[in-house]
Amino acid sequence: MSWVFLIRVCLILILTVFSILIITYTKETSHTFIERKILVELLRYALIITICSIPLSFLFFFFLPRTPYPLLDIGLTKAKTGFTSTVNLGSVASIEEDRTVVMRITMNRIQDNQLYWRMITFDTFDGTKWIKKENLNLKPTVTGEKIRYTVLFEPSFENYIAVLDFPSIVFLRNLILEYPGVYKTESPIDKTLKYTAESYLNFNLYESEPSKILSSNSEINF
């Protein structure tokens, strides 16, 4: 059945190209009648174009970059909800909700108000956009109950991964700790990424001053 389907697809491609060539020929020459010799020649061109397009399609599939953005953006695309490493205020007039699955988590059930997932924090505003600039070498001490979970993170084409606040450790090779609680990979995530991590629940976080305690019920801004 698969071979039959492949043959049908090839025939459709050939006939489609052949039809386009006929339409183009009649439009350019203004001929209402096409000789048999011309039809054979157009069919030969259709076969050549179809045969050449198949290997080129395979090359494009493997070598063209896989990004969530169109290669030729002519302004018809809308901004969508999601994640980005920069926030440019007022850059889009409207935002379309995107219900694409971001990640799948396997873990013991916890309360909904504890499901706060951390990826990146911004610290610099240049007048038009928020960006991550500073790389502070803080070494906070965190205490509390721990929970382990496994994440299947879908391609985001960014470097940052999601962890449950507040993370203790992430079991993933070549992972960069950019900031306490913020992890990133060496290269953009262009395929599904699986990792296991441990995070604190109902945590207490001690920063530079031991007397200053930030609880999980307080606002924490890094």
Tens digits of residue pLDDT in 56-72:
877 777 776 665 555 55
Dihedral pair phi/psi, residue 198, rounded to 5° = -125, 140
Does a structural domain hold residue 85?
Answer: no
pLDDT the model gives residue 218: 39
Does a structural domain hold residue 90?
Answer: no
More confident: 159 or 142? 159
> What digits encode the pLDDT tens for the residues 144-182?
789 999 999 999 888 999 999 889 899 999 899 888 888
What is the model's pTM?
0.56
Does residue 103 sit in the same domain as residue 54? Answer: no
- Mean predicted confidence (pLDDT) in 86-100: 67
pLDDT the model gives residue 11: 86
Residue 221 confidence (pLDDT) above 70: no
pLDDT the model gives residue 165: 87
Answer yes or no: are the C-beta atoms of 196 and 148 closer than 8 Å.
Answer: yes
Which residue among 46, 63, 80 closes a domain? 63
Answer yes or no: are the C-beta atoms of 144 and 204 closer than 8 Å.
Answer: yes
Provide the residue range defining the domain that includes 55: 2-63
pLDDT the model gives residue 5: 80
What's the token pair of residue 38? 């011309």
Q: How far is CA 24 from CA 10, 11, 52, 54, 205, in A?
A: 21, 20, 20, 22, 71
What's the token pair of residue 45? 């061109």
Which residue among 63, 86, 113 closes a domain? 63
Residue 19 confidence (pLDDT) above 80: yes
Does residue 38 sit in the same domain as residue 117? Answer: no
Q: Domain count of the chain?
A: 2
- Mean predicted confidence (pLDDT) in 174-202: 89
* Sign of the Cα pseudo-torsion (86, 89, 93, 95, in order): positive
Residue 212 confidence (pLDDT) above 60: no
Does residue 35 sit in the same domain as residue 107? Answer: no
* % of the chain residues with pLDDT over 90: 18
Does residue 52 sit in the same domain as residue 102? Answer: no
Does a structural domain hold residue 183?
Answer: yes
Does a structural domain hold residue 143?
Answer: yes
Does a structural domain hold residue 86?
Answer: no
Residue 22 confidence (pLDDT) above 60: yes
Does residue 113 sit in the same domain as residue 56? Answer: no
Does residue 117 sit in the same domain as residue 56? Answer: no
Does residue 206 sit in the same domain as residue 103? Answer: yes
Does residue 106 sit in the same domain as residue 188? Answer: yes
